Amino acid sequence: MISLLGMRQKTIVHNMSQLTLHEFASINCKLKDISDTWSDLWVFLHILPVSIGRVVNLRYGNFIGDSLIVEANGRLEEKILSVPAVVRHIVQRRNDKYPNDIFIFQSHSNRVKFKEQPVTVIAFNRALKIASSGVTDKTVSSKSARW
C-alpha cells in the first residue's frame, strides 16, 4: 500500500512539472529570438524519441530519404527511425541556410570558429533557462521537450 501511494505521488509531481502546450510554444518563440538553432533543436527533441546527446551529434549524412540513422554510441544501439515531414523540413531548411555544415546542429560560435563541432548540451540548456524565464516557474531542460 505504501509503495503504491509513493508511486502515485511521484506521477502527480511529474505531471505537475510537465510543460503545457502554451509553455512549450512560448519557450519555442523565445528560443527563436535567441537562435534558430535552439528553436529547431527544441522542436526536433519534441518530435523524435532520441536523447539530446545523440541529436546534437547527428550529421546530414544520417538522413537517407525518409529515414534517420542514429548511430550506436557506447551502450546505445543504432536506431533507424522514420522521420516525419516537419523534421525533414527543419533539416532541409538548415542545410539550405548552412550548406557547409556537417552537423545538423553545428555550432557557429567564435569558440569553434574554424572547427566543425555540434552545439553543446550545456549551451542549449543555458538558452532554455533564459527562454523559459517569465514563461514558467518549472525547471526546464532539454528533457522537457518530450511529453
pLDDT tens-digit series, residues 58-92:
999 999 999 999 998 888 899 999 999 999 999 99
**Residue 13: its pLDDT value, please?**
38
3: which 3 cell numbers?
A: 509503495
How far is it, in rounded angstroms, from Cα 138 to Cα 140?
6
pLDDT tens-digit series, residues 8-61:
333 333 445 789 999 999 999 999 999 999 999 999 999 999 999 999 999 999
How far is it, in rounded angstroms, from Cα 65 to Cα 88?
9
The pLDDT confidence band at residue 147, using thresholds 50, 70 and 90, is low
Q: At what angle do helices 36-47 and 85-97 cross, to 10 degrees?
A: 160
The pLDDT confidence band at residue 112, using thresholds 50, 70 and 90, is low
| pTM higher than the cut 0.85 | no
Domain residue ranges in the chain = 35-145
